Structure 1
Amino acid sequence: MLHILPETAGDIIVLQATGTLTSEDYQETFIPLIEEKTAAHQKVRCLIYLDPDFKGWQAGAMWEDAKLGTRHGNDFIRLAVVGGGNWLDWAVKISAAFITGEAKHFSESQFLQALHWIDEA
C-alpha cells in the first residue's frame, strides 16, 4: 500500500510503501499524484520510503511500475529510495533505468538526509 506523507508539497512527492504494492497503488495514488504535480510544476522530486513492513510488488504492480517509468520517466528531477533490506539496490537500479533524473538510495536512518537531497536540485 502507498501512503502520501505530509512532506508532499509543491513539486515534492513523498510516499511510504508498506506491505505489498498493487497495481491499484499505482493507478489510484502514484500516477494521479505525478500527473497532478507535473501539470503544475513540469517535473517532480520524489522520495519513496520502503518501511520495515514492505514486502515487495505484486506482478501487476511491477507492470504498472514499468509503465510509469515509460510514461513519466522524464518527469523526475531526483528520486530517493529510503529503506533497508534487499529492496534498496534493486529499486534504485530499476528506477535509474526508467527515469532521466538522478536516483539514489538511503538507509532508514537517513530519511531527512534523503528529503534534503531531493530538494537540493
Structure 2
Amino acid sequence: MIQFIDTQKENLIAARLSGKLDEENLKTIHERIHRIIDKGHKVDFYFEMDDFEGYTLKGFWEDIKTDAEHIDDYGKIAFVGNKKWQEWAAKATDFFTGCEAKYFETKNKEQAMAWATE
C-alpha cells in the first residue's frame, strides 16, 4: 500500500510504503513521475518503509520498467526504515543508478526528509 505524504516541494514524491506493492501501486507512482518530469524537473523521492514487505511479482516488474525508463530523471532517493535488507536495497540503488540514494533509520526520518528536500 502507498500512502502519499503532502510536501511543499513540487519535484518530490513522498510516501509511506507498507505491505506488498502491486502493479497498480507502481502505476500511481509512475504517473506522478511523469507529472514532475513534464515540468522539466528531476524527481526526488522520500520513502518511509513501515511494515514494507516488498513487491508482488507484477509490482516488481512494473518497478523495474519504470526505473529503466526514468533512471536519468531521478535525483535523490531517501529510504527510511528499520530493517537491514532495506539498508542494503538503498546501497544497491545508489551503486547501480546515477541518482543519490541514502538510507535513514526510522528515528531519523526528519533528517531524511530534510536531505531529500535540500
Size of the aligned set, in residue pairs, is 118
TM-score by length of 1: 0.87
Instruction: Structure 2: give runs of 5+ residues left out of the alignment.
Output: none
Matched residue, 1:85: 83
Alignment CA distance shift 1:59-1:47 (3 Å) = same
Say which SS state the counterpart of residue 100 (structure 1) adopts.
coil
Look up the SS of the partner of 2:98 in the other structure.
coil
1:3 — aligned with what?
3
- The structure 1 segments of at least 4 consecutive aligned residues displaced by more than 2 Å after TM superposition are 93-99
Query: What is the 5 A alignment of 1:3-22?
Result: 3-7=3-7, 9-22=9-22
Partner of 2:39: 40
Q: Summarize deviations over 1:81-103 as a string: whole Å, max 9, x none.
A: 11111331242144335531101
Question: 1:80 touches 1:118 (CA, 8 Å); kept in 2?
Answer: yes
1:109 aligns with 2:107: yes
Task: Tell me, in whole angstroms, the C-alpha distance in 1 between the residues paired with 2:10 and 2:58.
Answer: 30
Identity %: 30
TM-score for both structures, normalised by structure 2: 0.89
> 5+ unaligned residues in a row in structure 1: which ranges?
none
Aligned partners of 2:67, 2:35: CA distance in 1, in Å? 16
> Does the CA-based 8 Å contact 1:69-1:95 persist in structure 2?
no
Pairwise CA RMSD of aligned residues?
1.6
Paired letter, 1:7: T
Q: Distance in 2 between matches of 1:115 and 1:95?
A: 18
Q: Where is the strand percentage greater, Structure 1 or Structure 2?
A: 2
